[in-house]
Chain A
Amino acid sequence: MSKAVEQTVVEDALERCIAGDRSAFAEIVREHQSMVYSLALHFLRSPSMAEDLAQDVFLELYRNLGSIQSGAHLRFWLRKVTCHRSIDRVRRGHGNGTVSLEDVPEPAVAAQSRDMLLEAKLWKLVATLPDKPRMVVILRYQEEMELREIAEVMEIPINTVKSSIERALELLRTKLSRSMGGVKV
């Protein structure tokens, strides 16, 4: 489905949902569940906590449907609430478990060639990043978001986003190269 058609479908579902059609809300959940769940999973590193958080986010969306203006706004709202709730959970001492890459569900999009060892190391290294830079990296590489969009979702200055990504990449590169015996990445 093309982006424009997808957008129209979501906006149509949103309109029906605001009018009180619950099945339309289920459509919205199905449309965005992979994004919300993956953001939470990559950040919290626990499939059960990620599902719990995703459910909470969608329930919160249902209570705030009246404030959603469009499909794009809906996507922005879901990303923003998921990011903030995930960070809150980790700060409250939940989440950020030690789930290995094997326990993580299969990707929604098929991967190209995979280096399992490198992926496992990178998975662990990403988890060592501080909360906000970690979320910035996840938004950047999972959602392919622009720096400006990340800044809006995270409610931080765009320069902070830029420096967070640069510093995170530098840190990951150094640690990864050290753990791979000096191989440059």
Chain B
Amino acid sequence: MKPLDDELRNLLRPKEPPEGLAERVMARLETPPARLTFARRLSAFLRPPVLRWAAVAAVCAVAVLGVVRYQHQQRVRAQAEQASQQAIFALRITNEEIDTALRRAQRVTLRALEVPKNPKSEME
């Protein structure tokens, strides 16, 4: 058996490229580069792994911020609703108390009107 060096030299000796490779290169030189779509431009921009991970991290950060903000808004809305319920309840109590006070004032007024003007003449 030949030494490994010779085997590798034999295995990795230059190969013939497919027919017409040079013509295809020349044809590509003639063709103006196609306009890249947004998706292809984005994928080309994100080709380096560091940028790809940075983009993933940015998307995750935006998603987390979105969730936190949504939860905060929900909490504020719930607090506002609770405050409004409490205000309505307080107004209802106030309303009832005003009603009671008015009724009491009416009774007192009526009783005052029922009292005779000259009790002495009545006795006579």
Binding site for B on A (CB under 8 A): 22, 25-26, 29-30, 33-35, 37-38, 41-42, 47, 51, 54-55, 58-59, 62, 91-92, 104-109, 111-112, 114-115, 118-119, 122-123, 126, 137-138, 141-142, 144, 169, 172-173, 176, 183, 185
Contact = CB atoms under 8 A, between A and B. Distances in A.
A54 B17 contact: yes
B116 to A, nearest CB: 109
A122 B7 contact: yes
Given A122-B7, A141-B8, A176-B4, A25 B26 contact: yes
A122 B11 contact: yes
Chain B interface helix/strand/loop/mixed? helix
B23 to A, nearest CB: 8
Contacts of B47: 92
B15 A38 contact: yes
26 contacts: A29-B22, A33-B17, A33-B22, A37-B17, A37-B18, A38-B13, A38-B14, A51-B17, A51-B21, A59-B28, A62-B29, A105-B17, A105-B18, A106-B16, A108-B14, A108-B15, A109-B13, A111-B10, A111-B13, A119-B11, A126-B8, A137-B12, A138-B12, A141-B11, A142-B13, A169-B4
